[in-house]
Structure 1
């Protein structure tokens, strides 16, 4: 359907990660035996989510090598997968293939079942680990959505509905920002800076995460140090930190993939060390259109987009996509001093590791077997 005029959808993804420490986890990956239960639905889509995560990281990293990076591949993929419910034809295919699914090998029903199970697992974790993921359909009061899309969005993606008047841009912006701020417990404010009055539907995805160190840092031992910019078990989550040698950061970025992560997740060398990490509060704020276009998701932004599975009332296209992430890391935790880490790269484990130069990190959930957050710290004072 090549309409001459399309009304706009707005894709928003917001998240907050409050990391009160490295979630060094004692869980070890094991090979399931033949009598184990069938592989959980969310684990079946995990390899695709990992491929999407590192493909997206590669595109983000190419934008600048002097800025921090922080995003949630789970958040972005959830929003896109929910959007695919209402897409048809090439638009539908582009979205799912852009999420790294091979549609000749994976049935669409299995994809949505995987995301449904992911949401269920993520929102029902150990009470000591706060992880909340949700989806909201922000609808213009004049728009009538197809019943099937509404039912599928609600049943598969736990989507809520928020009615606003997009013509009242200031009022709409205030209502959306207030909603996001409330859902992320006040950690993400001013998610939306401006809204197109022609927008009819916004797909909003939010993630809130808070964890504590397995072994806490003593605040009394926190000191100021130079950061060289240029040269209890608290849930089934592991934070992996990668500290490349000087001049090797870009090489690490190019070789980052799910196989490398898997190797460190099963690494059995664990030893107490003196770990020095910078306190930081960083954020990532991204326009998704250029990034997704590099991954082959282009038709959704054009007048040739087919979202007739959402509404037959008026042609729709994706006007823009926004993603915002916030991470805070400090000393707080619930157990004694010291930390055990999984991600030491050298074969010989040093007595002390000092993160005083740019490093990469991944916050990985063993429950859904996917990266929740991927980031890079170039300057811990950079907000």
Structure 2
């Protein structure tokens, strides 16, 4: 199995979800957005393995996978290898965890328990949904709060006593920039919103940084901001990418274009950029959260399932030091050489842009979002 190829296929769903949510969710066209494709895909992979039948077939189609075994293997690799913590070696602090809460009166097949404990590394909990559903919800929410370091305090509201299983994933990421921004250079500048007047918000500034990488495409630019790595024994490479349209109101047109380009998030699409030198970089600080009904979005993309709801919450904070982000997803089931001199570009993100946090070796997208108003928390 080619992990990068499988992850690349799953990444295609991320842009389709973003495009659909922005087009159909009230307020999404005018508000900030963030979600975690990595977290959502782990839950979908679990669902495919558990449900089988037409539900599994639809999920396999969405994630472009050949079998549930492939999804289980990919999820296992992501959980144990790609999202392993690298704090001790100086890299990003990463935590991912899965949990399963199953009704104690419902028989559990040994093969199913083996799958969730070994492939998904999930904590297995026997609970009483029939008479203590509210207490189970409190337990799940407390688990999410602990796993996300308090950034997400709850993921579920009430669930009916007929619930048989809840599966949840939690993801936490805290990375420091490989080259931090100087706080003394942070100043208020104007940010152009898609609708309404320009507003003044704090912008971080860097000059001629050799750590930042810029690619220029027709109609937009992509700036790469790498995070500190985990040392010579860690071949992972985490970065934030900021996709900035040339036109002040060009975000949606840019998203439409990249969403239709297979392989763009993996760097293997038909849209080709040109490497360029970086001049002045100005990026607004931002901090916000977003709630997403994943099942509703997937049904809009053609997934037909009997699921009640796949709940998802994510949050992100970007400042001079780095990035802190967290996400939770839950579903309940009823049942150096000298180079030729290149043109230098300034990168001033003073209008709406797309961003993502990505691991390059595998191509895994941890978080994806849009910033329309940096002042909105």
Q: TM-score range by the shorter chain?
A: 0.7 to 0.9
Distance 1:279 1:379 in 2: 10
User: 1:273 matched to which residue of 2?
Assistant: 279
**Is the CA contact 2:278–2:344 (under 8 Å) kept in the aligned structure 1?**
no
Q: 1:133 aligns with which of 68, 79, 96?
A: 96
User: 2:5 matched to which residue of 1?
Assistant: 44
Matches within 5 A, 1:43-192: 43-62=4-23, 63=25, 64-101=28-65, 106-124=66-84, 126-127=86-87, 128-166=91-129, 167-192=131-156
Residue 139 and residue 57 in structure 1: after superposition, are their counterparts in 2 closer, same or farther (change >3 A)? Answer: same
Q: Aligned pair 1:250/2:239, yes or no?
A: no
What's the offset of the Cα at 1:66?
0.5
Matches within 5 A, 1:210-359: 210-230=174-194, 234-235=228-229, 236-244=237-245, 245-256=247-258, 257-261=261-265, 262=267, 269=275, 271-299=277-305, 301=306, 318-332=307-321, 348-350=343-345, 352-359=346-353
User: 2:157 matched to which residue of 1?
Assistant: 193
What's the offset of the Cα at 1:233?
5.5
Distance 2:283 2:268 in 1: 23
Distance 1:233 1:81 in 2: 28
What's the offset of the Cα at 1:376?
0.4
What's the offset of the Cα at 1:252?
0.4
Distance 1:126 1:273 in 2: 31
**Is the CA contact 1:121–1:368 (under 8 Å) kept in the aligned structure 2?**
no
Distance 2:304 2:101 in 1: 22
SS in 1 for 2:284: coil
Q: TM-score, normalised by structure 2?
A: 0.75
Kindly provide the CA deviation profile for residues 124-169 of structure 1, in whole angstroms up to 9, marking residues without a partner as x.
Answer: 3533112222211122333332111111111111111134333434
What's the offset of the Cα at 1:179?
0.6
Kindly provide the CA deviation profile for residues 297-318 of structure 1, in whole angstroms up to 9, marking residues without a partner as x.
Answer: 212x2xxxxxxxxxxxxxxxx2
Distance 2:80 2:16 in 1: 26
Residue 134 and residue 270 in structure 1: after superposition, are their counterparts in 2 closer, same or farther (change >3 A)? Answer: farther
Higher relative contact order (CA 8 A, sep 6+): 1
Cα RMSD, aligned residues only: 2.5
Residue 368 and residue 266 in structure 1: after superposition, are their counterparts in 2 closer, same or farther (change >3 A)? Answer: farther
**Is the CA contact 1:283–1:324 (under 8 Å) kept in the aligned structure 2?**
yes
What's the offset of the Cα at 1:240?
1.1
What's the offset of the Cα at 1:267?
6.3
What's the offset of the Cα at 1:266?
9.3
Distance 1:193 1:381 in 2: 28
What's the offset of the Cα at 1:48?
1.3
Distance 1:78 1:322 in 2: 13
Distance 1:289 1:177 in 2: 19
Residue 233 and residue 198 in structure 1: after superposition, are their counterparts in 2 closer, same or farther (change >3 A)? Answer: closer
Distance 1:273 1:141 in 2: 61
Kindly provide the CA deviation profile for residues 195-222 of structure 1, in whole angstroms up to 9, marking residues without a partner as x.
Answer: 2332221110111111111111112222
User: 2:335 matched to which residue of 1?
Assistant: none
**Is the CA contact 1:121–1:367 (under 8 Å) kept in the aligned structure 2?**
no
Alignment length, in residue pairs? 310
